[in-house]
Amino acid sequence: MSSAIATLVPESLWSYFADLNAVPRPSKQETRVIQFIQDFGRSLGLPVSTDATGNVIIKKPASPGREGRPAVILQSHLDMVHQKNASTHFDFEAEGIRMAREGDWVRAEGTTLGADNGIGVAAIMAVLASQDVVHPPLEALFTVDEETGMTGAKGLQGGLLSGKVLLNLDTEDDQELTIGCAGGVDVVATSHYPTAPVAADLDYFEIVLDGLSGGHSGMDIHRGRANANKLMNRFLYAASLRFAVRLACIDGGGLRNAIPRESRAVVGVPKKSVQEFQAYVAEESARYREEYQVTDPSCQLNCRPTAAPESLLDRDYQARLLCALYAVNNGIYRMSPDVPGLVQTSNNLARVLVKSGELSVQCLTRGSVDSEKMDLATAIRCSLEPLGAEVTFVGSYPGWTPRPESGIVKLMSGLYRELFGQAPKVTACHAGLECGILGTNYPEVEMISFGPNIHGAHSPEERVQISSVQKFWKFLRETLARL
């Protein structure tokens, strides 16, 4: 079905998107996609350069008559989030994304689609290859590792670009012009923990929590979706008090910037309580479905017998761990007092791995106000340090301060009204965009972000709207013609 995507309109953009999605491109493993973009630029006879971080820059001269205009930077990131459903057999390291059309939408078959930010990359490629798009001098900037640390943007040195305006093509609502975003920091806790031998008076079960919606931990954090790590911990805490279950391991969540959709644990249940415990699992599954019937209607909790594990958590440590994870803030921490409806600070309890004497907990804490972001990160550290864990703050990056009076905001707001008959939503978002980081070395560059409708980013439910891509392409072309 992926070949059919290349024939959608605008054909050049969709064709490049299909070509891009044939290249495996996980964050921090972008060698193949870097080569792909380099080869593309050289095939057009355009100057191509790559910095020490792996960011690729392709420059294109202005259209005839536009030579004297200031250069414009077009920017998108090459990497994509790799997530799949547990039942989907797919090798992200070797396979291209399998795409399919459903009415006005394009999705992938059981995996993330890569429209975030592949549609932006494909749009830039289409502009660079076009003979009829009117534009000033262009500097196409393709950054790496946006999804797991923004190290590409952080590594971009000043002086490589001369543009005075930067168009970031990484927004997921075609009615919005984004002019600000949150910063973030990873909170990572690791430790060894004491174990205990398995007990003969216990029967062992694997607990599986799945069917959750997940999503982008910035753009979707306000939607009230269940977090698999928090919900699993809630169950384990209650079951340990009610049945004196013993915990052997937990494996929940995955990527730091994705709301966790699944969690698994192995527990030992006193033989005398097995039937009551199994009934309790069913009761809790129904309760969770009722609580999350709007956001996570497919949520389910199941248990099945399993072999005895190699060891259990020490009883005292188990109690302290479940209390600590219960105390970790998840979701919205504070709404913005200045921008109605904007999440100001949040946390995503993204990953919990407890296995064979090793603990690893990962959170992504986001905030538009840096001091409040770090205050929340500190609160999380204070929840986890009593476990004896080493808690570190990794990869902190700044937010992007809005400049609503800038020339590019006024130009594109007016153009949007002219083209589409209504005013755009000029807003800031709670996701992490690279503009704030890029602005540290290019402080005089005016920046704005826009894009087509993309739903379910960072999850296997990701999809992009075909008609919205057409609208986005028209807006991009007309913007370049006015600059």
Catalytic choice (79, 174, 296, 434): 79
Contact 379, 414 (CB under 8 A): no
Closest by CA to 305, choosing from 283, 261, 284, 274, is: 274
Taken in order 149, 154, 160, 165, the sign of the CA dihedral is positive
345 neighbors 373 (Cβ within 8 angstroms): yes
Structural contact between residues 156 and 441, judged by C-beta atoms closer than 8 angstroms? yes
CA distance 259 to 221: 8
Query: How far apart (Å, rounded) are the C-alpha atoms in residues 374 and 382?
Result: 12
**What is the secondary structure of 69-85 as a DSSP string?**
SPPEEEEEE--B---B-
* Closest listed residue to residue 200, CA positions, set 275, 267, 268: 268
- E strands, 144-287, are 165-168, 176-181, 183-192, 195-196, 202-210, 246-253, 263-270
Distance CA 338, CA 344 (A): 9
Sort 6 into a burial class: Cβ within 10 Å, 0-12 / 13-18 / 19+.
Answer: middle
Catalytically annotated residue among 30, 145, 146, 446: 146
Catalytic residue status for 291: no
- Active-site residue 146, yes or no? yes
What is the chain's Cα-based Rg?
24
CA atoms within 13 A on the CB side of 31: 2
Active site residues: 79, 146
